[in-house]
Amino acid sequence: MTTLFDAPGTSPPNPFSTLIAPLNLSSEETNPSPSALASVAAQITHAVTTSTNPATSLWELWDAIFIPTATSRATHIPTLALLSAIRAQPPSLPSNVDWNDDAVRELKSHVDETDGKLHWETLPKFGWSWRDFHDILEANREWKAGWQGASFPTFVEFSALLLQERGEKGEVHPINVFYACSNILKTRETSGDEKKEDQEKDERKLTPEEVRAIDVRVVATWLKFGGRVLWEADQAELRKHFGAALDWERDLWPKKDGLTRERWAFWAERLWGLGEDERFDEQLRTLVKEAAEVIEGLLEGK
């Protein structure tokens, strides 16, 4: 589990935070050179390969990258570039494993079955760590406490950009776009009485309106950057692995018909409506309209 919520000083220092610190991933002005990225990537893969527990080191690595990514107000380009530099590293054979049952069992899930090496082009354990980090941020998005300044929408922006860059076979699956749309665009908004009741439960939480704005920003971000990847995804493969989710009936979509053009058009219609909602600030309304335009472009064959 991520150390994002740990109180300062309660967890051992993450060694990978020190390695990537010179890249200053959370700065708006950083633009690390290819040589700097390659150097850090080589140090990273060496540290994991020589670790007595590489699986734990992989978890520490991705946590060290995700935390500054979630707190960044920059473009995420440096983080994406670092991931590319890590992928470019050659496969490496763990050489210092503490051969106890736990270390061996954990490592087995992340090395290649044929040669026992860590194949960095696949970013070992990235997907597992990403899901954990994403879901924890999502579950805690309504709390006013800003853990180390982390932002769920900011992490989603990074994730959607990674999906856009890497496509269907990348580290982030396009089904996440569908999940976001299904949760927000096909569900009725909480009534005023329910909002008041929820708000009275705990003053440490954001208002329902603020949480709603976060959720709308998240779905618009996924669609703006990742909508095309979902549109172009292999529909047979999606149904094979996510059939139940595709046919899940929701308040505003009581149908079991998969990912149809009609559903995409419905999403666009919902987005256009949200884009005119004056409860949201102008920046969010603009983002929502951009997401709607992406869908309309897909429907028109652009």
Q: What is the pLDDT of residues 149-164, one digit of tens each?
A: 568 999 999 999 999 9
Q: CA 293 to CA 205: how far, in whole Å?
A: 33
Q: Which of 179, 254, 187, 256 is nearest to 219 (CA)?
A: 179
| pLDDT one-digit tens code per residue, 234-268 | 999 999 999 888 887 777 666 667 788 999 999 99
Q: Which of 186, 212, 222, 215 is nearest to 294 (CA)?
A: 222
Q: CA 258 to CA 49: how far, in whole Å?
A: 43
Q: Which long-range contacts (CB under 8 A, 24 or more apart) does 106-113 make?
A: 106/53, 106/55, 106/56, 107/53, 107/54, 107/55, 109/55, 110/54, 110/55, 110/58
Max mean pLDDT among 11-20, 23-32, 121-130 falls in: 121-130
Can you point out the beta strands (E) in 57-133?
Answer: none
Q: How many helices (H) and strands (E) does the chain have?
A: 13, 0
Q: CA 186 to CA 253: how far, in whole Å?
A: 6
- Predicted confidence (pLDDT) at residue 172 exceeds the cutoff of 60: yes
Provide the pLDDT for residue 200.
61
Provide the pLDDT for residue 23.
86
Residue 205: phi and psi, rounded to 5, are: -95, 155
Provide the pLDDT for residue 149.
58
- H or E segment at 216? helix 208-232
Contact 93, 117 (CB under 8 A): yes
Q: How confident is the model at residue 273 (pLDDT cuts 50, 70, 90)?
A: very high
Q: CA 60 to CA 219: how far, in whole Å?
A: 29
Q: Which of 244, 222, 141 is nearest to 178 (CA)?
A: 222
The first and second tokens of residue 134, run together, are: 């994403």
Instruction: Report the share of the chain in percent with pLDDT over 90.
Output: 61
The first and second tokens of residue 89, run together, are: 């590293």
- Which carries the bigger pLDDT value, residue 154 or residue 197? 154
Please compute the mean of the pLDDT values over residues 182-186 and round it to a whole number: 80
Please compute the mean of the pLDDT values over residues 143-147 and round it to a whole number: 70
Please compute the mean of the pLDDT values over residues 32-58 and round it to a whole number: 95
Please compute the mean of the pLDDT values over residues 257-286 and round it to a whole number: 92
- Predicted confidence (pLDDT) at residue 193 exceeds the cutoff of 60: no
- Which carries the bigger pLDDT value, residue 6 or residue 206? 206
Residue-averaged pLDDT of the chain? 88
- H or E segment at 215? helix 208-232
Q: CA 263 to CA 256: how far, in whole Å?
A: 11
Q: How confident is the model at residue 102 (pLDDT cuts 50, 70, 90)?
A: confident
Q: CA 234 to CA 44: how far, in whole Å?
A: 34
